[in-house]
Amino acid sequence: MVGDSDAMREVYALSRRFARSNSTVLLTGETGTGKELVARAIHDNSHRADGPYVRVNCGALAESLLESELFGHARGAFTSAIENRTGRFEAAHGGTIFLDEINSISKHLQVKLLRVLQEQEFERVGDTRTIRVNTRVIAATNRELLEEVAEDRFREDLYFRLNVLSIDLPPLRDRSEDIPGLAEHFTAVYAARDNKTPPKLAPEVLRLLSKYAFPGNVRELQNYIERALALSEGGALTSELLPDHVRGVRPPLKLVRSGEEDTDDLRRKLVRRELSELPGSTDVHPEILGRLEREVMLQVLRACQGVQTKAAARLGINRNTLHKKIEEHGLTAEVR
């Protein structure tokens, strides 16, 4: 982790203190703020460091697959279960399991997770034998879990069981003094990867980066540095290598965030734009709906970092329908 701001100093201090405990940790913060790095740091500095560290992205799998992934399954539990399988909790015995996007798990799995946290035991899918584990849980979310509890999407008892120790990761816009150090760090990392001498960053580049709000946080900055190095023909990295919206040539990016702009707001804006752009036609209604549907889906998929389970939930459709629509509108390449 890179950064010397007061906010990051507090994150470092809490991480070191929490590493000495076996209690569950809840990491909160926007996408791209470094929650997985903190989880790994806590594990690496704990007495469990010699044990396994297992990461599960709960938002990337359908419920049936996630249950088997977390808890394993017995042979014959379902059609493709041709042999017993060890789950991630079992694989993390003696170490740490990091559950990313914990807010995306279903109520059914929330019940099973609560039992693991309280009793350190569970059964594999399709099995009756109880398995006991000694696994520390670190969970992460980019949503406000209390709001999820209020909307009856997340169990209150599970929230309090997860939120024993908590760290809130600050967005990059709130620690802009760390941007130069991060930019230099990523420059060195990608230059080494490509067997290049790390170039210097022109003062104008650092000035523009420090002014930019970075809705995608550290991950967005990382991508821009990698892009600049790929475009560079040698010498210092100059401002021309930055995207137009970072240089102020185009309006800045704005991600759809929970609580800022819901899908209905986005849909209404897009309708107004589509109506103003379409030429006169006696049959514009199907065209409007088709173009609108494509644009809404693309915006939500990008806001959800391409995680289809999460995007489907935000759009109010099932994952299979979303997958079909992605193929229908030719969005596969655009959301990778």
CATH superfamily of 263-335: Homeodomain-like (1.10.10.60)
pLDDT at 263: 47
Note if the pTM is more than 0.85.
Answer: no
CA dist., res. 334 & res. 128, Å (int): 44
Which one-letter DSSP state was computed for residue 138? Answer: E
Residues of the chain with CATH 1.10.8.60: 176-247
pLDDT at 258: 45
pLDDT at 76: 64
- Model pLDDT for residues 11-58, shown as the tens digit of each residue: 999 999 999 999 999 999 999 999 999 999 999 999 999 999 999 999
pLDDT at 250: 77
pLDDT at 287: 59
pLDDT at 317: 77
Phi/psi-derived region of residue 286, left when phi > 0, alpha when psi is between -120 and 50, beta in every other case: alpha
Instruction: Please give the average per-residue pLDDT across 83-92, as a whole number.
Output: 88
Residues of the chain with CATH 3.40.50.300: 6-170
- Model pLDDT for residues 154-177, shown as the tens digit of each residue: 999 999 999 999 999 999 999 999
- Model pLDDT for residues 221-279, shown as the tens digit of each residue: 999 999 999 998 888 999 999 999 999 877 766 654 444 444 445 545 544 554 454 45
Residue 309 has pLDDT above 60, yes or no: yes
Instruction: Please give the average per-residue pLDDT across 75-85, as a whole number.
Output: 68
Closest CA to 144 of 312, 16, 30: 30
Higher pLDDT among residues 94 and 320, named by residue? 94
pLDDT at 249: 79
pLDDT at 172: 95
Give the lowest-confidence range in 69-78, 86-95, 120-129. Answer: 69-78
Domain 6-170 classification at class level = alpha beta
Higher pLDDT among residues 186 and 256, named by residue? 186
pLDDT at 229: 93
Residues 6 or more apart whose CB falls under 8 angstroms from that of 82 comprise: 75
Q: Does domain 176-247 have CATH number 1.10.8.60?
A: yes
> What are the CA-CA distances from residue 43 to residues 51, 57, 215 (Å)?
9, 17, 28
Residues of the chain with CATH 1.10.10.60: 263-335
Q: What percent of the chain has pLDDT over 70?
A: 85
Residue 67 has pLDDT above 80, yes or no: yes
Buried b (16+ CB within 10 A) or exposed e, 235-260: eebebebbbeebeeeeeeeebbeeee
pLDDT at 99: 96
pLDDT at 1: 85
Residue 336 has pLDDT above 90, yes or no: no
Instruction: Please give the average per-residue pLDDT across 296-306, as a whole number.
Output: 78
Lookup: tokens for 106: 């279903």
- Model pLDDT for residues 113-152, shown as the tens digit of each residue: 999 999 999 888 888 889 999 999 999 999 889 889 988 9
> What average pLDDT does the chain have?
85
Higher pLDDT among residues 248 and 81, named by residue? 248
Measured in Å, how far apart are the chain's first and last C-alpha atoms? 26
